[in-house]
Structure 1
Amino acid sequence: MKTRVWMLLLPALVAAGCGPVDGAQEPVVDELTGQVLLEATTKYDMNRLMEDADITGGQWITTAQVQAFLQQNGSYLATYKDPAWSNKTAAALIVERSKAYTISPLYMLARIQGESSLVQSGTSTNLSKATGCGCPDGSGCDAQYVGFGNQIECSAKKMRGYFTDLDAGRTTIAGWKVGLTKSSLDPCSVTPATKATAALYTYTPWVGAYALQCGRTTVGGSSLMAVIYNRFKTAYNWGSAPVTCFSETAGAALPVDGCVQSSSDAMWRQCLSTGDFTAGSTTKPATCTVSYPWCSSATLGRSVPARTCVQSSGDSQWHQCGVEGAWQSAPDAPTSGSGPVGTCFALYAL
């Protein structure tokens, strides 16, 4: 992916009316982009640039928050709507397409800034290649990825693909993996300590100027993503992840006061504000905000846990036990092993 540079503006460097300073060094220009590289106040471990949750978290971030952040920064994107994506706003596209692949909208903002400077620019320069996705260094962008919405979709989808490989214990398409030493293009000998770091180098295979141990000082590189992400993280009140309780039975994170009837013992458990479930009871709590009970199956002649998939004797169609005990259509269950509420807990064919 094309390496872009974020202008790290320091007050002393932009004071109005200041003339040349005796002994001042010449600005360093990024050899890939031609943009000026300024010194960062913080540098990062090249082996641990970002944590996994920095890239895959932030799922609570809203379109309204991203819109406010763009306005706060005087961004051109604050008023932009993409005609190729049903005239959706830039903020909506950033949030919706990022979350579609479980990628953090905050990370996506950092990626946009690092590749095109659009988050803090009042002009539309580089709009069509906002995230540098499908835009190799030294050449133009692939036509299918040109356009703001396409760029967000491309970037989120590729990053999710890298994590899918890493989660499965494989290397990414570029050969990066946690614990595996590999050379960047600087070159630096890097051993990623997190999946996020391995994914970043897959996207942009340069360490760059903002790492402690190594990196070409005339390239922004992946270390630039850590700089931008952490500055954006503290520049706005993004809130925090809501408290949830993950249920193996439901295959989902339940909100506080959410309830589930356990597949192991049929006991009801409710999510507490501490992120823990109650010990369990034989009756459903009266204060459940959402629930995953067992569903009664006429085909089987008994009740079954949430997510169970059954082929109905009435119409031969597949259904899955879902939220609030409702059976939901699951036509792909026999081939994919899953339905509208996730992987089938068990499958029962006629």
Structure 2
Amino acid sequence: MKLRLCVLLVPALLAASCGPLDESPAEPVIDELTGQVLQEATTKYDMHRLLENSDVTGGTGITPAQVQAFLQQQGSYLAGYTDPAYGKTAATLIVERSRASNISPLYMLARIQGESSLIQSGTSTNLSKATGCGCPDTSGCDAQYVGFGKQVECAAKKMRGYLTDLEAGRATISGWKTGVTKSTSDPCSVKPVNHATAALYTYTPWVGAYAIQCGRTTVGGSSLMASIYNRYKTAYPWTLTTAEGCYSGTVDATVPEGSCVQSSSDALWRQCSQGVFIGGTTAKPSNCNVSFPYCASTRLGRSVPTRTCVQVSSTLWQQCGAEGAWRDAPGAGTTGVGPVGTCYAAYPL
């Protein structure tokens, strides 16, 4: 055991006692997949049930202002970042792009931290691959997903696609399915008990270091998402649900309880129930208080999501609104905003 030098203090009669030096701290463990330093686990999770479905799809009451305050609290580089491709702040993109796919912004914060450490880092390192989306373990990142906003949108759409398959009773693209045992890359034999867990393993097919039963200790894996999510959930006074409806990224507003929205991400219908969107069906629910379907555009020859702006003549723009009705939007061509909000997409002549 190493000994430390004895240092005498003044007055001379008060000498500091000299005890043995503690062993040197262990070297940090670096995640084999992401290159990030793995934090010591304070809680371990059931590898068959990493998160609840509502953890991944909830958070309907979270606002860009709350995310901004959280980023500032964490000393994140993202607190002062605006994506030039979107002209929007990181906080706005995290909420907007997550909710557009009915994915929780709080889950997205955990995903960003687990993949790139950007939530708690004061530097821009890994900004272009913030969520690891389109960045498989075996190769580099797909160029079409490079950039912060694109990374958040990609991650949200991927998770929504996995959940849509699972909600329909299908396996995900890589074969994960609720209630069916499958081997991870650790390897571990996992039987997901809910859609959220199956979707997490589809995104990252490793259990990793934060599970009770099994997992590669040098990989964060999907268990890392559970660890970060639960830490972030209690680190800030989030408004996880809305008291009088659900926030819809498609509508870009909070819609009343019982409202039905045809999602811009996958064209499936979901209904607001007790502050959370439920469902995910091709058919519109029969008990909608108000609905936000796609609008049929004669000029485009197809249907487009709510808030889409289309120029129909040299002097007239219209925007898709509630109940599939087109509304005149005279300023949309220059401001990108119509009577029902910012244009989801704009189609000039």
**TM-score for both structures, normalised by structure 1:** 0.66
Work out the CA distance in 2 between the residues paired with 1:240 and 1:220.
Answer: 26
> What is the deviation of 1:28?
2.9
Query: Conserved in 1, the CA contact under 8 Å of 2:59 and 2:239?
Result: no
Query: Conserved in 1, the CA contact under 8 Å of 2:183 and 2:189?
Result: yes
Residue 160 (structure 2) aligns with:
160
> What is the deviation of 1:140?
1.2
Taking a change above 3 Å as real, the CA distance of residues 29 and 330 of structure 1, as seen in their structure-2 partners, is closer
Taking a change above 3 Å as real, the CA distance of residues 141 and 234 of structure 1, as seen in their structure-2 partners, is same
Residue 42 (structure 1) aligns with:
43
Counterpart amino acid of 1:98?
S
> What is the deviation of 1:132?
0.2
Query: Conserved in 1, the CA contact under 8 Å of 2:133 and 2:154?
Result: yes
Query: Conserved in 1, the CA contact under 8 Å of 2:290 and 2:323?
Result: no
Q: How many residues align?
A: 259
Work out the CA distance in 2 between the residues paired with 1:30 and 1:106.
Answer: 22
Residue 209 (structure 2) aligns with:
209
Query: Conserved in 1, the CA contact under 8 Å of 2:134 and 2:142?
Result: yes
1:95-135 CA-partner distances (Å, limit 9, x unpaired): 11101001001110110000000011000000000000000
Query: Conserved in 2, the CA contact under 8 Å of 1:118 and 1:127?
Result: yes
Query: Conserved in 1, the CA contact under 8 Å of 2:60 and 2:240?
Result: no
1:134-162 CA-partner distances (Å, limit 9, x unpaired): 00114211000000010011000111000
> What is the deviation of 1:25?
4.1
Query: SS at the partner of 2:56?
Result: helix
Residue 296 (structure 2) aligns with:
331
Counterpart amino acid of 1:52?
N
Q: Mapping of 1:91-240 within 5 angstroms?
A: 91-240=91-240
Work out the CA distance in 2 between the residues paired with 1:56 and 1:168.
Answer: 16
Counterpart amino acid of 2:214?
C
Residue 76 (structure 1) aligns with:
77
Taking a change above 3 Å as real, the CA distance of residues 157 and 22 of structure 1, as seen in their structure-2 partners, is same
Query: Conserved in 1, the CA contact under 8 Å of 2:61 and 2:240?
Result: yes
**Aligned residues: percent identity?**
69
> What is the deviation of 1:330?
5.1
Query: SS at the partner of 1:115?
Result: helix
> What is the deviation of 1:224?
0.1
> What is the deviation of 1:29?
3.0
Work out the CA distance in 2 between the residues paired with 1:125 and 1:197.
Answer: 29
> What is the deviation of 1:39?
2.0
Residue 314 (structure 1) aligns with:
none
> What is the deviation of 1:22?
1.9
> What is the deviation of 1:35?
3.6
Work out the CA distance in 1 between the residues paired with 2:245 and 2:147.
Answer: 39
Counterpart amino acid of 2:146?
V
Query: Conserved in 2, the CA contact under 8 Å of 1:243 and 1:255?
Result: no
**TM-score for both structures, normalised by structure 2:** 0.66
> What is the deviation of 1:30?
2.4
CA RMSD of aligned residues (A): 3.5
Work out the CA distance in 2 between the residues paired with 1:128 and 1:219.
Answer: 21
Work out the CA distance in 2 between the residues paired with 1:20 and 1:128.
Answer: 43
Counterpart amino acid of 1:134?
G
> What is the deviation of 1:57?
0.5
Residue 61 (structure 2) aligns with:
60
> What is the deviation of 1:194?
1.0
Work out the CA distance in 1 between the residues paired with 2:66 and 2:294.
Answer: 35
Counterpart amino acid of 1:150?
K
Work out the CA distance in 1 between the residues paired with 2:39 and 2:27.
Answer: 11
Work out the CA distance in 2 between the residues paired with 1:193 and 1:329.
Answer: 34
Query: Conserved in 1, the CA contact under 8 Å of 2:192 and 2:198?
Result: yes
Query: Conserved in 2, the CA contact under 8 Å of 1:54 and 1:104?
Result: yes
Counterpart amino acid of 2:168?
A
* Unpaired segments ≥5 residues, structure 2: 1-19, 247-253, 260-273, 276-285, 307-320, 325-349
Work out the CA distance in 2 between the residues paired with 1:45 and 1:342.
Answer: 44
Query: Conserved in 1, the CA contact under 8 Å of 2:34 and 2:115?
Result: no
1:63-84 CA-partner distances (Å, limit 9, x unpaired): 1000000011111001101111
* Unpaired segments ≥5 residues, structure 1: 1-18, 247-252, 260-273, 276-304, 308-320, 344-350
Work out the CA distance in 1 between the residues paired with 2:179 and 2:37.
Answer: 33
Work out the CA distance in 2 between the residues paired with 1:173 and 1:141.
Answer: 19
Counterpart amino acid of 1:89?
T
Counterpart amino acid of 2:169?
G
Counterpart amino acid of 1:331?
A
Q: Mapping of 1:239-254 within 5 angstroms?
A: 239-244=239-244
Taking a change above 3 Å as real, the CA distance of residues 136 and 22 of structure 1, as seen in their structure-2 partners, is same
Query: SS at the partner of 1:177?
Result: coil
Taking a change above 3 Å as real, the CA distance of residues 58 and 329 of structure 1, as seen in their structure-2 partners, is closer
Query: SS at the partner of 1:331?
Result: strand
Work out the CA distance in 2 between the residues paired with 1:105 and 1:234.
Answer: 14
Query: Conserved in 1, the CA contact under 8 Å of 2:31 and 2:220?
Result: yes
Work out the CA distance in 2 between the residues paired with 1:306 and 1:53.
Answer: 23
